[in-house]
Amino acid sequence: MSKVEVALSIRANLGECPRWDEKEQVLYWVDINACQLHRLDPKTGRDEYLQFDEEIGCFALREKGGFILAMRNGYFTLDGWNTNRMFICDPEEGLDKNRFNDGRCDAMGRLWAGSVYPPKDHGGASIYSLTGEGVATKWIDNLLTANGIAFSLDNRALYYADTPSHAIQVCDFDIEQGEVSNCRVFHQFPHGEGRPDGAAVDSEGYYWTALYEGQRVVRLNPKGEIVQEIAVPARCPTMVAFGDEDLKTLYITSVGNRSEEELQKFPESGSVFKVRVDVAGTTENRFVG
């Protein structure tokens, strides 16, 4: 097993949503609370970012170039790096305590993104799909923190986690119609050992998730059984992405906004980590709009 290394030493407040661009051979990622979209070139170590005036929960690359952003106040597009942001829609308009959180595109180019409801006094968060025509549809609700959205290789299953529940769910997925149904528990983690956060599926169809406050990432087979665990030198890893030319480097974002005691124990918290793995990932789908 390869050793987990630091790909970028940085104290990100809430590092999230690493996304490999196979065309540019760079890693994009966000610092949600700092309202930043970052671009890391692993070969040079250079990291640069765009600064926004609201949180960016997740994003995806677009087929025509640029980005689709899911932010506090809805969906936006960028035609390229450091271009003007264009508003699409806000399916949670009026829900002032919510913001978008985790998401990714399906094989038809729709963006699936979920929100987070920080008060957590009821299930105020949801998961939506967004078509290339700009139509947003709610599919799953009554959540606290939507995370871990990913798809099976045959496009017949959608995975997600409601992080505070410590559970990953799997739903039947109709790729042609873009519909989800029959959601049930894929894996239930015990309380107190880390909560499932962001995720990715590898080229064998196995689901990888970062365990927030669990100091590790885990790989689960299609039956929902843990088959591999990798310790991370941060208590709060947040999400994984497969990168580099062979898609066999697993990049891991993390949280740096932690207690001084924890930061003394894990001084690289907030960094982007990397580790070589045996099974490659898959190329991320791009947004069609």
Sorted by where each begins, the domain ranges of the chain are: 5-276
Give me the mean pLDDT over the 185-189 stretch. Answer: 98
Give the per-residue pLDDT at 171.
98
Give the per-residue pLDDT at 2.
80
Q: 5-276: what CATH class?
A: mainly beta
Q: What is the pLDDT of residues 197-208, one digit of tens each?
A: 999 999 999 999
Q: What is the pLDDT of residues 163-180, one digit of tens each?
A: 999 999 999 999 999 999
Tell me the percentage of the chain whose pLDDT exceeds 70: 100
Contact indicator for 73, 94 with CB cutoff of 8 Å? no
Sign of the alpha-carbon torsion through 39, 45, 46, 49: positive
- How long is the chain? 289
Going by pLDDT thresholds of 50, 70 and 90, the confidence category of residue 84 is very high
**Residue among 70, 43, 44 nearest 59 (CA):** 70
Structure tokens at 102: 């985790």
Q: Which of 47, 197, 202, 244 is catalytic?
A: 197
Going by pLDDT thresholds of 50, 70 and 90, the confidence category of residue 51 is very high
Contact indicator for 204, 235 with CB cutoff of 8 Å? no
Contact indicator for 42, 275 with CB cutoff of 8 Å? no
Max Cα-Cα span within the chain: 50
DSSP state of 264: H
Whether 197 sits among the annotated catalytic residues: the reply is: yes
Give the per-residue pLDDT at 1.
60
Residue 77 burial (CB count, 10 A): 20
3-state helix, strand, coil in the chain (%, to 5): 5, 55, 45
Is the pLDDT at 144 greater than 70? The verdict is yes
Is the pLDDT at 58 greater than 90? The verdict is yes
Give me the mean pLDDT over the 121-127 stretch. Answer: 97
